[in-house]
Structure 1
Amino acid sequence: MSDDLRRIYNHCDPYKPAADDFYLDCSAARGGGMLSQEFIRRLQLADDHLSFLFAGHIGCGKSSELAELSRRLEQPPYGQPPYFPVVIDTNEYLDYYDADTTDIILAIVTELAAALRDRLGIELYDNYFLRRINEVKKFFLSEVEIAEGELPLWAAKVKVSRLKRDPDARHQVRTALAPKMSSMLDEINMVFEQARSELRKKLVSSDASTLPDFVIILDNLEKIRRFGGREEGLDSQRELFVERYSQLAGLAAHCIFTLPLRLVRSTDGPQLAQRYDGDPFVLPMIKVCERATRRPFQLGLDQLQELLRKRVSPCSIEDVFDADALDFLLAYSGGQTRGLLTFVQSACAYSQQLPIRLQAVHRAAQQAVRTYSTSIPHHHWQKLAELDMSEYRYIPGGDPDFLAMLENLSVLEYINGGEGDPFAAAEPWYAVNPIVRELGQFKAARSSLSKVKSP
């Protein structure tokens, strides 16, 4: 196996956010604006703290967009004020099948304290959370660690993350802190004010016109499946983002929360704009075909190819893929970046040398074939066929089956964008996942529907 193949395999890790040299702005093919530009514009205009919602399909590139935003906040263009971004991967702290508000608050406070100390040498001390964490540390520290004395807030990050793997300790901490929830929300805002004050002392210069502030970015929050004891799925997501919105929107800091696309497209979607600062920013798939004709959308295909070009450099993309293999990858990714990188990584594993052949790419796609053919409920096939055969390819508002399809990626969301009709440009439309369109069960459902509709 060649070193080039090994390097490409690792550069195409589908679960790592794109590093600066791998990042590509694909907003033109997504039909919308760029997250970092829109958020920073709002940040510069707002007098108060922003509670900003960010949604999109699983694997569409949300973490990469947040990483790019973090870079732009920290190193803005000349003349613009810098910010101190704190990106929190909630996967480090939360059991997505048993999460609650206390878990999120502890993650925010300890991550902020650790980031300030590690990056700027600022230590948060003598505050409510320092005392509270030391009150409950007996539930998740060993006797030796307890005997070491007071646990600094910055050092609590690693310790608190243990709660993810210890349900008993997690329950004990929640039981101890739950009665104090109302005061916890007030106190976290006092911690924010202390952090803001220390940050400004450290960073502000005598000629600065804008004082620095921090931005909390909560990534992967949309992956929570069960929250606050509610039923798994949409009920739990509604509980966190709608019913308990005051616990998120009440944080006196600039915050970005990732939330699931199916909640945004549910009948609860309009409530989100009323509870937070505007409508959620939705990141659609990169468009790879035209809505009505299904002809290839060249701009989208070109951007996906450029995304791969960055990953395979210094090799040329022509040396890495046979032409038919590359065409297959781009078309059957559906414009989902994680799916594309997953196919490439798997194809590398099925190749002994470059270039990657069509046969290896076919084998890479077969895992997705097996997954979709066995996981899609029987009653979804007819609805998928109806969507595929519809003229405008909309989904019925609030339909639980279609919301589930958005979640499991059997249906993908796109936006045309452009400078024409502002309403048509912004209206999302939907397509059956191109892998699903090739499955026998889908073709059978489409054939049956065609016979029913035939005169």
Structure 2
Amino acid sequence: MKLDLQRFYQACNPSPLNMGNAEERKYYIDFSSVRGGNIIRELGRTVTRLSPDKPTCQLFTGHIGCGKSTELQQLQADLEQQGFHVVYFESSQVLEMADVDVTDIMLAIARQVSASLEAIQIKLKPGYFTNLFTEIADFLQTPIDVSMEAELSVGIGKLTAKTKDSPKLRNQLRQYLEPRTNGILEAINKELFGVAREKLKQQGKKGLVVIIDNLDRLENSVKPTGQIQPEYLFVERGEQLNQLNCHVVYTIPLVLIFSNALGRLTNRFGGDPKVLPMVPVQVRSGGESKEGMALLQQMVLARAFPDVNVVERVNKITEVFDSPETLARLCRVSGGHVRNLLVLLSRCLERDDPPLSRDCLEGVIRQRRNALILALTEDEWILLREVAQQKSLRGEERYQTLVRDMFVFEYRDEDGSWFDINPILREAKELQL
């Protein structure tokens, strides 16, 4: 089977895989054996084995672009196969990520769940929300055309559309909703989730699961309380987010793992957040991670030859690269960050057709390295040298500087977390010790 160039170009798009699509599922590689555990299996077992009938709330995080969305869609597919009704949505599509409050998240969940239920002919008419929409329209003194017969998802959709692009209206709405937060939570639990769970059981479903993706992209804007937005939502207001009457998985910003508020976060939700680390390209001591490198190479080859088995793909490397060493170089310099790897590969394909040359790859690497170098200060170079020597990182401030901007990556092994410099930066002359 020859390389289908058009299909390969499309498969190298660095967007998350749609695990509901049979073709895209062929590109999926299970990295759990080198990531320190099967995080998605653990999330799923909490729902299916430990507490199938009692609501659960779990937190999931990791570097942006490390593969969380693909893994969460895999979780969705697994849970649906086991008989759960799963509502997965990307919060960045429905929320203004620079300015989010608890009621925004609750209304977004209510909207997405009701729309998902309506799609399978479960239509709910929560009386609380019908009255609430009328009161809000009067309070905002702006028309919101929601008929008494409209579905809940339509009502919330029209409300959020009015306020999404208007900070003034959004603030006015929050002033109205804030003292009613507990009432909204109670109505969601009783009139929406409570009724939905009963009707889903009548259809043979085991329960309701809501997966809210992309909340890890919340901006670190400062709230009136003086807290950054992630800490305000998940620590200060986490108790309310933890009270939804269904199984919930929230993605959260990785900054919270490095924050002094981590202990309070754990207390709010009754467990530690689960972290999806990088795929290791080397071990803590400095040697190459053979298994991590092999799986990353399979990720690339699966997108080139999705219908070829694992062993035969390796024999076809030279149809995509000028040598096996060029593919190894691509995987190594990605640092095990799956989106980085696909971005570098896509840049190569923009420049040339396969088989991709080592010169083409090195040109792309130099371009990416130069972009990263321009963003670094002298103080940050000093911190990077410390990470290179110590393989450790402590404190929220250093996280903000190094991890958020992907200058440093986190890995896991049997001894826990360790950190290393983004391999593209490691070759910069400023780090040559």
Please give the range of the TM-score, normalised by the shorter of the 2 chains: 0.7 to 0.9
Q: Which residue of structure 2 aligns with residue 376 of structure 1?
A: 376
Correspondence 1:265 to 2:245: no
- Separation of aligned partners in 2, 1:138 and 1:3: 61
- Separation of aligned partners in 2, 1:355 and 1:69: 35
Q: Which residue of structure 1 aligns with residue 292 of structure 2?
A: 300
Question: Which amino acid in structure 2 is aligned with residue 439 of structure 1?
Answer: A
- Separation of aligned partners in 2, 1:165 and 1:366: 39
SS state at 2:228 partner: helix
The 1:134–1:348 alpha-carbon spacing in structure 2 relative to 1, beyond 3 Å, is farther
- Separation of aligned partners in 2, 1:345 and 1:141: 50
Correspondence 1:172 to 2:172: yes
The 1:355–1:65 alpha-carbon spacing in structure 2 relative to 1, beyond 3 Å, is same
SS state at 1:197 partner: helix
Correspondence 1:55 to 2:55: no
Is the contact between residue 288 and residue 331 of structure 1 (CA under 8 Å) also seen in structure 2? yes
Q: Which residue of structure 2 aligns with residue 289 of structure 1?
A: 282
Correspondence 1:406 to 2:403: yes
Tell which deviates more after alignment, 91-100 or 260-269: 260-269
SS state at 2:404 partner: helix
- Separation of aligned partners in 2, 1:14 and 1:183: 41
SS state at 1:308 partner: helix
Counting aligned pairs with the same residue, the percent is 31
- The CA deviation at 1:3 is 9.2
- The CA deviation at 1:343 is 0.9
- Separation of aligned partners in 1, 2:304 and 2:225: 43
Per-residue CA shift, 1:385-431, capped at 9, x if unaligned?
A: 012123xx2223x25124431211111111113xxxxxx2xx10010
Q: Which residue of structure 1 aligns with residue 154 of structure 2?
A: 155
- Separation of aligned partners in 2, 1:367 and 1:159: 45
- The CA deviation at 1:319 is 1.0
The 1:441–1:138 alpha-carbon spacing in structure 2 relative to 1, beyond 3 Å, is farther
TM-score normalised by L of structure 2:
0.88
Is the contact between residue 97 and residue 225 of structure 1 (CA under 8 Å) also seen in structure 2? yes
- Separation of aligned partners in 2, 1:139 and 1:301: 59
Is the contact between residue 122 and residue 198 of structure 1 (CA under 8 Å) also seen in structure 2? yes
Question: Which amino acid in structure 2 is aligned with residue 410 of structure 1?
Answer: F
For structure 2, the residue ranges without an aligned partner over 5 or more in a row are: 20-24, 309-315
Q: Which residue of structure 1 aligns with residue 313 of structure 2?
A: none
The partner residue of 1:245 within 238, 241, 245 is 238
- The CA deviation at 1:226 is 4.4
Q: Which residue of structure 2 aligns with residue 42 of structure 1?
A: 46
Is the contact between residue 129 and residue 188 of structure 1 (CA under 8 Å) also seen in structure 2? no
- Separation of aligned partners in 2, 1:363 and 1:106: 47
Is the contact between residue 5 and residue 348 of structure 1 (CA under 8 Å) also seen in structure 2? no
Q: Which residue of structure 2 aligns with residue 219 of structure 1?
A: 213
- Separation of aligned partners in 1, 2:297 and 2:153: 42
Correspondence 1:394 to 2:392: yes
- The CA deviation at 1:147 is 7.9
- The CA deviation at 1:176 is 2.9
The 1:341–1:230 alpha-carbon spacing in structure 2 relative to 1, beyond 3 Å, is farther
SS state at 2:326 partner: helix
- Separation of aligned partners in 1, 2:264 and 2:64: 22
- The CA deviation at 1:171 is 2.7
Question: Which amino acid in structure 2 is aligned with residue 114 of structure 1?
Answer: A
The 1:386–1:166 alpha-carbon spacing in structure 2 relative to 1, beyond 3 Å, is same
The 1:197–1:284 alpha-carbon spacing in structure 2 relative to 1, beyond 3 Å, is same
Q: Which residue of structure 1 aligns with residue 22 of structure 2?
A: none
Is the contact between residue 140 and residue 159 of structure 1 (CA under 8 Å) also seen in structure 2? no
Per-residue CA shift, 1:264-306, capped at 9, x if unaligned?
A: 13222233222213111111100110211x2211100111111
Tell which deviates more after alignment, 87-96 or 402-411: 402-411
The 1:242–1:413 alpha-carbon spacing in structure 2 relative to 1, beyond 3 Å, is same
Q: CA RMSD in A?
A: 2.6
Q: Which residue of structure 1 aligns with residue 194 of structure 2?
A: 193
- Separation of aligned partners in 2, 1:132 and 1:151: 14
TM-score normalised by L of structure 1:
0.84
SS state at 1:155 partner: helix
Question: Which amino acid in structure 2 is aligned with residue 38 of structure 1?
Answer: E
Q: Which residue of structure 1 aligns with residue 26 of structure 2?
A: 21
